[in-house]
Homo-oligomer: A and B are copies of this chain.
Amino acid sequence: MTGAEVLVHTLVQNGVDVCFANPGTSEMHFVSALDRIDGMRCVLGLFEGVVTGAADGYYRMTQRPAATLLHLGPGLANGLANLHNAKKARSGIVNIVGDHATAHLGLNAPLTSDVEAVAAPMSNWVHTIPSVETVAGDCMEAVRRASGRPAEIATLILPADKAWSAGAAVPAAPRPAAAGVPPPDSSALAAAVDALRHRASSTLLLLGGRAVHADAADWAGRIAAATGCAVMSEFYVPRQQRGRGRFPVSRLPYSVDAATAALARFDHIILVEAADPVAFFAYPGKPGRLSAPGSRIIGLSGPEHDAQEVLRALAEGVGATRGAVPAPDGNIPAAGADQPLDAASIAAVLAACIPEQAIVVDEAISTGRNFDRATQGAAPHDWLTNMGGAIGYGLPVAVGAAIGAPGRKVIALEGDGSAMYTPQALWTMVRESLDVTVVVFANRSYQILHGELANVGAGAPGARAIDMLTLDRPVLDWVFLARGMGMAATRACSARELDRQLRAALASGGPSLIEVCL
């Protein structure tokens, strides 16, 4: 059996049965092995950022790693930005990166690069397979790391000669055991209980990571109901389960001024899989840390813990284990479709249209800033945001989310600027017949940068600066772009059209795109 065959067998036997791929010559033995080994679903992306972003979305929905298949250093480099996002989201991924045969590396052929060095900044673990004999063991270690808690970006570099050489048999190893979950730190738990018992009105429970999954957030809701503390989530979360019947957790605002204002009244902040809040960017004369000076930060649990268990223990500590979870009444903003087309009416249309158990992938940037509150009463759904800030995350993550959660509808909310970083994802959606509706908000600018230009104190922009932030020359036509990749597409120029087109797209069951003219 070749090393490539051993690798595919080992992945499948260890539960990694989806591979997002953009292969080249050095990966042909892996591709060939797919013909002879059952159980691996291989999904082609036309650009590597699609591949790595899809693996991120897949992990977020399944809590299991997918594999990627990437071609040498430059192919890996094209996938780094979405690996950055996945790493910040603590998604587990097994990257398989082909490299030249070891003897060929010394010849400095054109595609030669230091693959380990390319991988390192956006990986938690990098390993070059040294021998065909170690393929199975090295692969199992990568899967173990990518499946751990916290999960890791595990990058396994496979030199071509290790792929094509005959190797050892696949070991009949059991799947790697899940790592044990440590209990919450007892002194942090005691401090959190103390704050909630005595200073609940000035205490914030700040949730991140898996603490905004419904089973965990419901405990936070009981704690809030019993103690009167506030509950918020970080601005970015990997997957928030929200909507009608669930405890509503509002996001910390993005802007420094709004976030510091929101946090000003809290002298205690209890972090549950969240970080001490910091500004996304630094601005002259503004703070980097967002909490009130002198406030006490209690780090209750991190990604290595079980957030649901931690919050249940906290609820026990404050006597809040009974009672219904406070949940929105299901009211949603009225009559979005009757209003002029703007952020508010779009949010209302969304809230009315989000189907039960939908997955919303949010890269709407400036247009989507206020979707949070408006959609809290929508049908129960999952909401995914970009943890790493590298744009081009949304369409690829939608691909992976759809493959990870078959039977659920995916809505990808995109700015036109951000969608242009990885538009190739549309093609994979069509190829795989994914139930994804892409909504592109076409404001024809890097709108967020107009605000940022002022925020950083760079003054009023002149003609040349504005030119760098404006995408209207030429106008991007998303209907043509989608059709160019085989996707049905429409254009909505009023809230009523958006409402009608969104309902039709969601009902169609196949992928489609709506360009919203702003």
Contact = CB atoms under 8 A, between A and B. Distances in A.
A427 B75 CA distance: 23
In this complex, the member of A28, A456, A463 whose beta carbon has the largest number of chain B beta carbons within 10 angstroms is A28
A420 B430 contact: no
Contacts of A114: 121
Q: Give the number of times this chain occurs in the complex, counting copies.
A: 2
Interface in A56-90: 73-75, 77-78, 80-81, 84-85, 88
Interface string A149-190: 000000000001100100000000000000000000000000
A117 to B, nearest CB: 5
Contact of A34 (B100, B118, B468, B474): B468
A46 B471 contact: yes
Interface stretch (A326-334, A366-374, A475-483): A475-483
A449 interface: yes
B474 A282 contact: no
Contact of A121 (B88, B118, B487): B118
Nearest to A419: B46
Contact of A28 (B34, B49, B456, B471): B456
A387 interface: yes
A233 interface: no
A73 B73 CA distance: 16
A32 interface: yes
B35 A390 contact: no
Interface stretch (A103-111, A139-147, A260-268): A103-111
A239 B323 CA distance: 75
Interface in A428-479: 430-431, 448-449, 452-453, 455-459, 461-465, 467-469, 471, 473-479
Contacts of A386: 110
Contacts of A35: 461-465
Nearest to A110: B389
Contact of A161 (B77, B78, B282, B473): B282
A405 interface: no
A279 B473 contact: no
A35 B279 CA distance: 28
B80 A111 contact: no
Nearest to A111: B389
Given A278-B107, A462-B35, A464-B34, A164 B284 contact: yes
B281 A26 contact: yes
Contacts of A457: 164
Interface string A376-394: 0000000000111110100
A390 B80 contact: no
Nearest to A475: B486
B78 A458 contact: no
A171 to B, nearest CB: 24
A41 B114 CA distance: 34
Contacts of A478: 484
Nearest to A160: B282
A125 interface: no
B280 A110 contact: yes
Contacts of A279: 104, 107, 109
A374 B73 CA distance: 34
Name the 7 nearest CB pairs between A and B, nearest first.
A474-B486, A35-B462, A481-B484, A74-B390, A480-B484, A32-B458, A101-B282
